[in-house]
Each structure stands twice: as structure tokens, then as C-alpha cells.
Amino acid sequence: MNHHVTVGVDGTPESLAAARWAAREATLRQAPLRIVHAEDWSSAALVPELDPGTRDRWADEVLASATDELKLAYPRLEISTRRLSGRPATALAAEAQGAGLLVLGSRGLGSVVGFVVGSVGLSTLAASETPVVLVRADEGTENAAPTAYGEIVVGVDIHQACDRVLAFAFEEASRRECVLRAVHGWKLPSASGYSPVLNPSVAREVDRTVAQMLDDMLMPWRLKFPDVRLEEKTLIGPAGRELVQAASDADLVVIGRRIRRSNLGTHLGAVAHAVLHHTAAPVAVLAHD
């Protein structure tokens, strides 16, 4: 049996968008969907000064409302609900251990300000080694019929193993029968004194080498997933910035994050930070060593 998909809801538009995304993903995977609510999640702004009984009823209504909507849209999907106790990030990460995927909503403030992930999303990312997808609310599409899947963009670091990231990206592209675009951004250290603008011939030569390294890394995955339409792209510039620009029309962005076994707080890295804060599409984050 396929691992279930878990989605966290708290009554916000972002979490409802995440629930819709998770239901469609669970249907693709032919897996059950579990909708969860962390009892300490609700901020005072959402549920001000409520007694425990009223707060419990409100939480039940949040779960029931999301379930009813998704059952109408996906009548054959197996859906269950669960209320979690404890700090949201810790409870969600623990709940995700038995899941194949954890989906959360994130607050978006527009392309200029960026994608505000929020403390729960960031803390859950840091605490969970299960793949996590962050979804921002898409206004005006609540009742829209599902459309064909567009492309997936995956950020590839050619200088370290990223098999878990590539496996997820290829599997998603295969399920969706869509294009997978593998992107790698590169630049030489500023200390080298080299500028691709001043010496374009050197830039072309380095880019050819980088492109060959990218192709070599992707070749085993091409052979494993011959049905996936793969496009490879190397871009000159900071990896985070180039990946955000390349993903402007993507339906899903897949990135990796290094597992930091530390008590010093959340560590995502510059590329993950840029993508999470400036990409409108859902972002899948895969933890790896």
C-alpha cells in the first residue's frame, strides 16, 4: 500500500489551498489522504479567547469543512482526519514520519515582497526528514476544475549527491506525464577576478563543462524514467536567483536541503531560502545528507 499523504489545516486560505493540492497529489499516488490539525496551531487572531470546549468545536469544524469539500471533488479518495496535540512543528513532523509526503500552506505577500513561509512551515521543515511541500494560496481558483499538469522544475547541485531530490522529481514528472526541467546555476568565486561579461568565450567553455556534468548526473535517471520528457538548463548566476527565474511558470519546484543535525535553529541554505521566499508555485523540499 502506498504511504498516505498528510496535510495540515488551520482554517486559513493557505492551508485550504494546501489541502486541495494534497488531495490531487494523493489521487495521483493512489494513496489515502490524512487531514490533520495541530491543537496549538491556532493563533489568537484566528481563535481569540476561546474556552477549551469552543476551541475543540472550532478545530473539529476546520477538519470537517476541509473533508467535506475534498470528498465532493474526489469522491473515491480515502480521507481520514486527526487532531494533534503539542507544538505544531513538532507534532506535524512526528505525524509525517509515517507519511509519504507532508503538505503545508504558506502565506504569500506577492512577488515583490516574496513568499513568507512562516515559523510553523520553517520549523517543520527543519524537524522533518519526510518530503514537505509548501503551497501558497491561489486566489480565485478555489472552485476551479483541475487542469492538465504543467512542468516541474528541479534544482540540481552537480557538486554533491542529490539522488533523493532527483528521485522525487522524476517520480512526480512520471505521474503527471509532464515536462521535467533540471536547472543548475553556476558562477565562479569573486576572488577569481573572472567576469563572464568581459570574457564570454571563457563563459561558454565553462558552461559547456558544467552542462556535461549535469548531463552525466542525470543520465541514470533518464534511463530509469524513459517516459519523462527531460530538459536540462545551465544558467550563469547565483543558483537561487536563477532557479527562481526558471520556475516562474512551473507547477511544482523541487529542491533539496542539507540535514543539519544541530540545536541552533532552522538552517535551509541560500538556495532553499531564495526559492521558498520568492517562488509562487508549490515547493517540494527534500532533506538529504
Q: pLDDT tier at 29 (50, 70, 90 boundaries)?
A: very high
Task: Give the side-chain half-sphere CA count within 13 A for 174.
Answer: 14
Radius of gyration of the chain measured on its C-alpha atoms: 20
Highest mean pLDDT among 129-138, 170-179, 239-248: 170-179
Checking DSSP bridges between strand 33-38 and strand 283-288, what pairing results, if any? Answer: unpaired
For range 267-276, the mean pLDDT: 80
Residue type, 93: A
Q: pLDDT tier at 40 (50, 70, 90 boundaries)?
A: low
Cell of 269: 541554505
pLDDT greater than 70 at residue 205: yes
pLDDT greater than 70 at residue 285: yes
pLDDT greater than 80 at residue 268: no
Task: Please report the pLDDT score of residue 144 as a whole number.
Answer: 53
Q: pLDDT tier at 16 (50, 70, 90 boundaries)?
A: very high
Compare 187 and 42 and report the one with higher pLDDT. 187
pLDDT greater than 60 at residue 203: yes
Task: Please report the pLDDT score of residue 113 as a whole number.
Answer: 38
Contact between 136 and 280 under an 8 Å Cβ cutoff? The reply is yes
For range 255-268, the mean pLDDT: 67
pLDDT greater than 70 at residue 258: yes
- Fold classification of 5-136 is Rossmann fold (3.40.50)
Residue with cell 494546501: 18
Compare 160 and 66 and report the one with higher pLDDT. 66
pLDDT greater than 70 at residue 41: no
Contact between 128 and 96 under an 8 Å Cβ cutoff? The reply is yes
Contact between 260 and 231 under an 8 Å Cβ cutoff? The reply is no
Query: Check: CATH 3.10.580.10 for 152-288?
Result: no
Domain assignments of the chain as residue spans, ordered by start: 5-136, 152-288
Domains 5-136 and 152-288 share a fold: yes
pLDDT for 105-143, tens place per residue?
Answer: 886 444 333 444 556 777 888 788 899 999 988 644 555
Give the span between the Cα atoms of 35 and 245, in whole angstroms.
Answer: 33
3-state helix/strand/coil string of 87-98: CHHHHHHHHHCC
Task: Please report the pLDDT score of residue 44 as a whole number.
Answer: 43
Q: For residue 191, what is the DSSP state?
A: G
As a whole number, the mean pLDDT across the chain is 83
Cell of 260: 543539519
Contact between 257 and 96 under an 8 Å Cβ cutoff? The reply is no
pLDDT greater than 80 at residue 195: no
